[in-house]
Amino acid sequence: MQAVTSQSAGPLRGTITVPGDKSVSHRALMLGGIAVGETRISGLLEGEDVLATAAAMRALGADIRRGEDGLWTVIGRGVGGLCEPDRVLDLGNSGTAVRLLMGLLATYPFATMFTGDASLNSRPMERVMAPLRLMGARFTARSGGRLPITVEGGELVVPIEYELPVASAQVKSAILFAGLNAPGQTIVIEPQPTRDHSERMLRHFGAEVISEDLSGGGKRITLSGQPELAGRAITVPADISSAAFPMAAALLVPGSDILLRNVGINPLRAGLLDTFREMGGRITLSNIRGEDGEPIADVRVEASALQGITVPASRAPSMIDEYPVLAVVAAMAEGTTHMPGLGELRVKESDRLAAMATGLAAAGVRVEETEDSLTVHGVGSASNVGIAGGNTICANLDHRIAMAYSVLGMVTARPVVIDDGSPIATSFPGYVDLMNGLGAKITVG
Ligand code: S3P
């Protein structure tokens, strides 16, 4: 346990580059590990979640090294070429790592055992096991379909056509990764589009992946099985989900003006930019370009007077990890922000709906929580009542809850204490120093 205290700060100013995108980093190591030849990755996120994936891929036979220049190289084993690990794969806090690896290994004729920390071992895994069983995999799981779990591929690997019952890029990716080692076409239908990093990166490595728009807004993704994947160079964009915290802080702290470089702005990830702008946030993109299949830009954020809005439920998948910090921003906006369609927040690293409703209320904000929505009544930045703060938040092994409340502490009358800031290292190593470098006042211990 490592307590973190955040208190009101002067303007935030400066130019920063937040660490690499977590979703892209996991996928680069996994696909690099099953490509033939060398994959060179620059900008890989060196957070605990991704390092857990690197360790797992090594245990499965991939040769993964970090150069002194921070460039990572992966020598892959080819599709179908992973080997039986001699230990239980512990993926720590990472749902993405475990779910995607379950897919990757669901077609192999050996048993792979997975476990994680207390948070990961309480999260639902049936959502990936159900489609993978249809492809021939067998699972042994703890009650409630929870980790620890063992997966073993069947004698017959069957490609499937599967419609996602939940909007989840992790489930989609698990099925596509299993489909890599299946004959014929694997098809995923998603009624609500989710982040498409897997599809983009699979194409980058040479797989045939066709994505068709469906009437009604969904997508149909078709992967041709057993491709030859060739090692590639990959530049990982800065993670918009990490950028969300300094962005939110800069919007809220009067006089702030910051520039974030090389931020991934994939439209299926960047819903927060639309939301902040609709609230009145002054956000300017420049230097928009593409890097190895992913769009990126430099993002300038200036302190702004914000209004409450209703965030359309259809936008939720494109900013699903950003709701905790959005709830903090909403608390300082003028008027009410309504956020429907958030049922999935209950099964993230913690129950994020409850964590935001409870912590904001304890800080003095009026909040309403339903099974799948959050409504925050903002105090308005011009208010001289403000938000009291002075409370202690339980992070519950959830990095984004810890960081969201560190942003709240920058604008409350009294400091906000987070009981344990150590989970921040899962996705955003160096967070405290980077924020303090901009002008925040966050102390550890
Ligand atoms: C991720 C997908 C999302 C997201 C997670 C990363 C991914 O999860 O919350 O942080 O990399 O595919 P779901 O697939 O459960 O929505």
110's tokens: 């050996």
Condensed to tens digits (0 to 9), the pLDDT of residues 257-277 reads: 999 999 999 999 999 999 999
pLDDT at 208: 98
pLDDT tens-digit series, residues 146-185: 999 999 999 999 999 999 999 999 999 999 999 999 999 9
Q: What is the pLDDT of residue 383?
A: 67
Read off the pLDDT of each residue in 339-358 and give the average, rounded to a whole number: 98
For the record, the structure tokens of 13 come out as 């100013």
Nearest to 18 by CA among 178, 222, 244: 244
CA of 194 to the centre of ligand 1 (A): 9
- pLDDT of 382 higher than 80: no
Continuous H helices in 124-239: 126-134, 169-179, 197-204
Among 50, 128, 195, name the best residue to mutate to test ligand 1's pocket (greatest count of ligand atoms within 8 A of Cβ): 195
Q: What pLDDT sits at residue 388?
A: 96
Q: Is the pLDDT of residue 282 over 70?
A: yes
CA 325, 328, 332, 333 dihedral sign is positive
Architecture of domain 22-235: Alpha-beta prism (3.65)
Averaged over 82-104, what is the pLDDT? 98
CATH-assigned architecture of domain 4-20+237-444: Alpha-beta prism (3.65)
pTM tops 0.95, yes or no: yes
**Per-residue pLDDT tens over the stretch 176-187:** 999 999 999 999
Domain 4-20+237-444 matches domain 22-235 at the CATH topology level: yes
Q: Kindly list the protein residues whose Cβ atom lies closer than 6 A to any atom of ligand 1.
A: 23, 96, 168-170, 173, 195, 320-321, 344
Q: How far apart are CA 298 and CA 335, in angstroms?
A: 30
Domain boundaries, the chain: 4-20+237-444, 22-235
Per-residue pLDDT of 111-138, as tens digits, reads 999 999 999 999 999 999 999 999 999 9
* Res 223 pLDDT > 70: yes
289-338 pLDDT, tens per residue?
Answer: 998 899 999 999 999 999 999 999 999 999 999 999 999 999 999 999 99
Q: Which atom of ligand 1 is nearest to the CA of 23?
A: 11
Give the catalytic positions in this structure.
321
Average pLDDT score over the chain: 97
What the block records as the tokens of 422 is: 């150590």
Query: Do 365 and 377 meet the contact criterion of CB atoms below 8 Å apart?
Result: yes
The pLDDT of residue 122: 98
